[in-house]
Amino acid sequence: MRKLSDTPFCEYCGKKTGLDVHHASYTRLNRENLDKDLIVLCRDCHTEEHGNNPSKYERGLEAFARNKYGRNLENLNIRAVEREFRWFIGIDRRQHG
């Protein structure tokens, strides 16, 4: 599948083995937009994504934010923090050389 070859790692935790393609949206089933409807996850994160528990990615993001910015996360720009976190764990580094 092209999504796996384009993104050979878990988009939540960065793991490079045991990968699955997860449907983030089922609105375009069988005619998916690779960037919007599908994400690559390791089996652990994929299992957690279908459960009610916070994923490893969400727990990691929160721990990263608390470690860097302290206890009060209410006034943070979460998108900016998430970009920093993704860079920190190596997910976005492949796009920037």
User: What confidence tens digit (pLDDT) does each residue in 21-46 have?
Assistant: 887 766 666 677 777 778 888 888 88
Taking residues 48-73, report their average pLDDT.
78
Confidence (pLDDT) at 93: 54
- By three-state DSSP, how is residue 40 classified? strand
CA dist 37 and 88 (Å) reads 24
pLDDT tens-digit profile of 8-25?
Answer: 898 889 899 989 888 776
Q: In a 3-state reduction of DSSP, which class is residue 89?
A: coil
User: pLDDT digit string (tens) for 63-94?
Assistant: 888 888 887 777 788 788 888 888 887 765 55
* pLDDT score, position 59: 78
